[in-house]
Structure 1
């Protein structure tokens, strides 16, 4: 991959075994390009939507899926209206593999299932994400999170429950967060957005975009 995609990041910070935060990983140019792509992906075929949870509540985060359609709590190849899901972009797979290599200091092992699904989440100033596990995937491959726009408080917890112990990390635009290995099933969430903290040069004046890239392990 071209070095122009990346800035000169700070040293990786291990938040928990297998969970690594790399501040300032994406260059401003790459952030700007990803914001433009997120706008394209959100236009169709599904568009961004708020999912209804099994108990009836609506998510405050708006989301569009690529590669596989996610809804609580399953994946499918088609949207609710029967239309096919937008394809998974190869660029996101490349960024995910590069992110793992930079976070862990080594690439994914040969034969590891490839990345094939991305969730693009938009948070306005009041949006939150409750503590949850990413457990719909059948592949034990690190989850890669790319952050754009406003900063957030990212709460990274333990693998047993939604309660303490957890660590609050400030994720800013351009930051990378990877979690796998013993932290792959850790509970995590976003209790707060920090409005007005986005770099105006990336083209996202308000809100936060988060691109979460995963390997589904599904056929």
Structure 2
């Protein structure tokens, strides 16, 4: 919103989980959106993710660095066109480190570089069920950046997909980082609010860019786990 009675401020949602509103200014949002549009092009572009039970995720996804599929990682789009996964750029790794320092402080910045991006595109009716990001061997903080439409982001606990949880409104440009005791907390997106994206951005829908440290090193073997976003 252009003007608010009470400006939003950063908040610790849980120990190790911090919401930083308006972290990306308009220019940085636009540059990141332009990059996402290029990454979404085939080969290894935006795809519909199919679950082992035969269903499909309502958001669509493209990956960088390592390709995520239910429930593991590979170097090629094993559940799509089979193309090599797109590379993870150095500037995005630097953005991940900057985000962690801004949210959790310099001591929380991982020594390993960020090397995975999961980019999810949400149309008006898309949702994401409660899940944990547990497919990586690193416990480095997860970085989440939002572009476009506002969403309700549900951040829960490490033990169950149900309560207790906290609903957080994530708007375009917002940063959410979770690590430490919150690294394996369940989280999801129960609602997207269509038509709430900044008009100047030129995006219909919501993009979520999630950055992670794999911990895989040079091992080409895919790693199995259980997380979609």
The one-character-per-residue Cα deviations of 1:123-143 (angstroms, maximum 9, x if unpaired) are 000000000000000001000
Give the one of 32, 35, 54 matched to 1:34. 32
Shift of 1:12: 2.3
Where in structure 2 are the equivalents of 1:1-219 lying within 5 Å? 11-80=9-78, 81-108=81-108, 112-204=111-203, 206-219=204-217
Q: With structure 1 as the length reference, what TM-score do the two structures score?
A: 0.92
Gaps of 5+ in 1: 1-8
Task: Tell me if structure 2 keeps the 8 A contact 1:144–1:176.
Answer: yes
Greater Cα shift, 96-105 or 186-195: 96-105
Shift of 1:104: 1.2
Aligned length: 209
Greater Cα shift, 101-110 or 167-176: 101-110
Gaps of 5+ in 2: 1-6, 218-229
Shift of 1:107: 4.6
Q: Which residue of the partner structure matches residue 3 of structure 2?
A: none
Give me the whole-angstrom Cα distance separating, in 2, the residues matched to 1:97 and 1:12: 18
Q: With structure 2 as the length reference, what TM-score do the two structures score?
A: 0.88
Task: Tell me if structure 1 keeps the 8 A contact 2:143–2:178.
Answer: yes
